[in-house]
Structure formats: structure tokens, C-alpha cells
Amino acid sequence: MNEKKIINEISQLMLDKKALDVKIINVIGLTSLTDYFIICTSESDPQTRAIFNHIKDSLTEKAIKPWKTEGYEYLQWVIMDYINFVIHIFNKKTRSYYDFERLWGDANIIKIKK
């Protein structure tokens, strides 16, 4: 499966679990960390768990496993690192505080519609 298809699928998986403000940030050429960030906002801890598990389970079925995950124990900002793309699931307060869109303002940012 190609990278763009996977990234689009991830954004749809987020929407399946009612994530808010889903965006894909293309950082190719801006950083060596990754190629894409896929970000969303969750309204509650159970929703964050549901988004995380839905993405992980769906990608694992396709033999795509995260290199590393962080933040699941606190659920304020959960990161799923797949090397070429990194998923960020924020609660509202943390998303507002870090303002990822401002930090990566030079990047091409795509807002995903429901």
C-alpha cells in the first residue's frame, strides 16, 4: 500500500471515531524527522483510546506496525511513530497549547473534511 493511501486511510480512521480537526501536515523537505504528521483532537480519554486502538488495529491487519508509541498512559498527547509518518492524537487543551499548525506553518497543511 502506498504512503499517501495509508495517510488518507488514517485520517478516515480518525473520523470513524469522531476525532475533531483532522489535518495532514506534509513536512517533506522541512525536517528529517518524518514526511507527514497526521493530527487530530479528541474530546475525552476514552475517545483517545478508541482512536489509538482503531488506527493500530487497522494498520496491524495490513502488517503495518508502529516503530514507537508514546503518551498512551496519560492520554493528553498520544504519538504513534511509523517512521515516514507520525500520528498525533491530542486532547483539546494540549492541541491548543502546542498549536502544531503554527509550529509547522511553512508546511502544506490539508484539513480533512468529514
- Three-class SS state of 60: helix
Burial class (CB in 10 A: 0-12, 13-18, 19+), 78: buried
pTM of model > 0.85: yes
The burial class, CB within 10 Å (0-12 / 13-18 / 19+), for 20 is: middle
Quick one: which of 56, 65, 63 has its CA closest to 1?
63
Read off the pLDDT band of 1 (50, 70, 90). low
pLDDT digits (tens, 9 = 90+) for 64-86: 999 999 999 999 999 999 999 99
In sequence order, the 6+-apart residues with CB closer than 8 A to the CB of 16 are 54
